[in-house]
Amino acid sequence: MLTAVTTSEALTRGVRVRVEARYSPEHSDPRQGEWFFLYTITISNEGVDTVQLLNRHWLITNATGDIEQVRGPGVVGHQPVLRQGEKFEYTSGCPLKTPFGSMHGSYEMSLENGERFLADVAPFALREPGAYH
């Protein structure tokens, strides 16, 4: 069975964030009300300035409209520094208590001069194949 992949992409001040998300049946147990989704994010520095990812902020919404906020330093234990043309890719996961929902958020980025800005992560769907919103 092919797993449906959902995607999103945003570009903020030269930082491109691409997301591919998919349902993970091997980590899910719908009979127990547990659905798990994996997402792979590629952060590309298309600007001229070196940037560092400092913090993440996620808003996760399930099918009943409940919103969970997640904040923390870095991503998967890293605070990557990206020079012009460099990329950082990682995969993480998100549990839901419903068969579909969505995520979006931002990464706090720092320039070498200390200036900070938020790089958007555009909304992407979390959806079990066959579950329609």
In order of their start, the domains of the chain are 8-127 (2.60.40.1470)
pLDDT digits (tens, 9 = 90+) for 12-23: 999 999 999 999
Extended beta strands in 32-86, E state? 35-45, 51-62, 67-73, 81-82
Q: Quote the pLDDT of residue 131.
A: 63
pTM of the model: 0.94
CB-count burial class (<10 Å; 0-12, 13-18, 19+) for 25: middle
Instruction: Tell whether the model's pLDDT for residue 101 goes beyond 90.
Output: yes
Average pLDDT estimate for 48-69: 97
Q: Quote the pLDDT of residue 1.
A: 46
